[in-house]
Every structure is written in structure tokens, then in C-alpha cells.
Amino acid sequence: MIVCVSTECFPDLPLAAAMERLAELEYSAVEIDVHESGGHLHPVEVAAQPDAAVKACSDLQRLRPVAVSFAAAETPATDGLFAAACKLAKSLGVVTMVVESSELGTPFNGEIERLRRMVAIAATLDAVVAVKTSAGRMTQDAETTASLCRNVPGLGVTLDPSHFIFGHKKAASWEPILKYVRHVHLRDTKPDVPQVRIGQGGVEYGRLVGQLERVGYDRALCAHMPPLPGVDQGAELRKMRLLLESLL
């Protein structure tokens, strides 16, 4: 396993500046966001100017890209935008594409069809789709997420344990999806607070690493922590890196 960090951890900085800060914090691997809302790279721009997108990622400050996160509203153009993001990932030597599942209430069969299209697009560009576990979406519980993976051959999971803790009196189990995990997002959280300072929440990092080792997981553990008001983001990210490195 390797430790990495998301560019979303510095959402208010330009991409190059965010990369520089993450390198200063001594991370060696990075997940790059291609998001319609916010984000450092936008799907429409990546599709319209692919060479410019590659150039924007050219100065990685010694950071090795290991994942690309894609988020865009579902429209007739979305498949093309996703394909462009996958092409960017391939040019960077990235295999893992992190995507969101649809919101709760979406017909199950419709979600299967959507994810099958994404998996097929990614496969033509040597990428793997890893749908992210998230509250309020179809992947908010492990059983439904596992069912999606069984019905969409080749689909993997981006495990975010915080969504199995926040909003639950007792942490929900993510055991059913461990064998499908292809990427991991990490922050600390409490049952009544979605994100807290590292060490103040209920995420058992050591236990999680042990679970992942048991199923042969050998990919990234990604710090994915939006800034907290009044908290030194750099210090929190450094703390997370040191914690994860101590477990590997």
C-alpha cells in the first residue's frame, strides 16, 4: 500500500499551487480531481482542450498521480466527458477512476446501466472505475454497493469509511465490499460530525489497514480531507501522512 493525497484538500488554491503545498507536506502520490463543481480541472475543459489539461498536470512537484476523481451531472454529454477524463488519466499513467454513484431513489437497473457504460469506456483506455461509498447515494450501504459490483463486471469501490460512521449510532460494516476495494479515501469522523481533526474521531485506521491487507489490497490510502474552519490544514495533512506511514 502507498500513502497519497487528494488535490481536493486545497480546493481554494490553483492546481499548481495545491501540488506545491502537497509536495511540501512530503506526500509522494496524488489523486487529481476533474469535477464540474469546484475542482481544479473541469470536465468540459478537459474534453475541449486535452493538451492543456495534460500541461496543467505537467508540474506534479515530484508527486506521482495514482487516481483521477471524476464528477459531473448526468447529461447526454457525460459519457464523452468521462472518456476525456479517462484519456487524461491514461496520459498520466493512472489506472483508477473515482466516480460517484447516483443519488438515492435512482432506479437500480438504471444505475447498473450507467455504471456498465462507465466501466466499458474506462476499459478501452486501460482504466478501472471505482465507485465511491457516500451517504445519500446508492453506495451508502455496503450490501447495495456489493450488489452493484456483482451486476457490473469490472466495477470496483472507493471506500470512504467516514460514511459508515457519520449518522450511525454504531459504525456500519463495510466487510461485504472489501474484496471490491480499489481505492480508499480517509479523514476522521464522529457519528454526529462528518469530519473532525485527526485522532478525534472514530476511524480505526490500524484495523482498516489490517482488513485491507487480509484481502490483498496493495493500492493507495488517500488523505481526502476538506479544510476545517479555524484548523491548520497543512498540519492536519502532515498528521494524516505520518499516521498512515506508521501503519505500513
CA 237 to chain centre: 16
Instruction: Provide the pLDDT for residue 152.
Output: 98
Rounded CA separation 195/198 (Å):
9
The H-or-E segment that residue 245 falls in is helix 233-247
Instruction: Provide the pLDDT for residue 27.
Output: 96
Rounded CA separation 167/142 (Å):
15
Residue pair 71/99 in contact by the 8 Å Cβ criterion: yes
Please, what CATH class does the domain formed by 2-247 belong to? alpha beta
DSSP code of 122? H
pLDDT higher than 90, residue 28: yes
Task: Return the bridge partners of 184, or none.
Answer: 159, 221
Instruction: Provide the pLDDT for residue 223.
Output: 97
Mean pLDDT of the chain: 94
Short-list 164, 136, 138, CA closest to 151: 138
For residues 96 and 172, which has the higher predicted lDDT (pLDDT)? 96
3-state secondary structure of 106: coil
Task: Return the bridge partners of 186, or none.
Answer: 223
φ/ψ of 80, rounded to 5, equals -65, -40
Rounded CA separation 35/42 (Å):
5
Q: Could you tell me where the beta strands, DSSP code E, fall in the chain?
A: 2-6, 29-35, 64-71, 96-100, 128-132, 156-159, 181-186, 188-190, 193-196, 220-223
3-state secondary structure of 71: strand
Length of the chain: 248
Q: Which pLDDT band, with edges at 50, 70 and 90, does 92 fall under?
A: very high
Instruction: Provide the pLDDT for residue 167.
Output: 82
Residue pair 132/139 in contact by the 8 Å Cβ criterion: yes
Q: Which pLDDT band, with edges at 50, 70 and 90, does 37 fall under?
A: confident
Residue pair 129/97 in contact by the 8 Å Cβ criterion: yes
CB atoms within 10 A of CB 55: 10
Q: Which pLDDT band, with edges at 50, 70 and 90, does 62 fall under?
A: confident
pLDDT higher than 80, residue 171: no
Rounded CA separation 94/96 (Å):
6
The H-or-E segment that residue 143 falls in is helix 142-151
Instruction: Provide the pLDDT for residue 60.
Output: 75
The domain ranges of the chain are 2-247
pTM of the complete model beyond 0.85: yes
Q: Which pLDDT band, with edges at 50, 70 and 90, does 237 fall under?
A: very high
Mean pLDDT on 189-205: 91
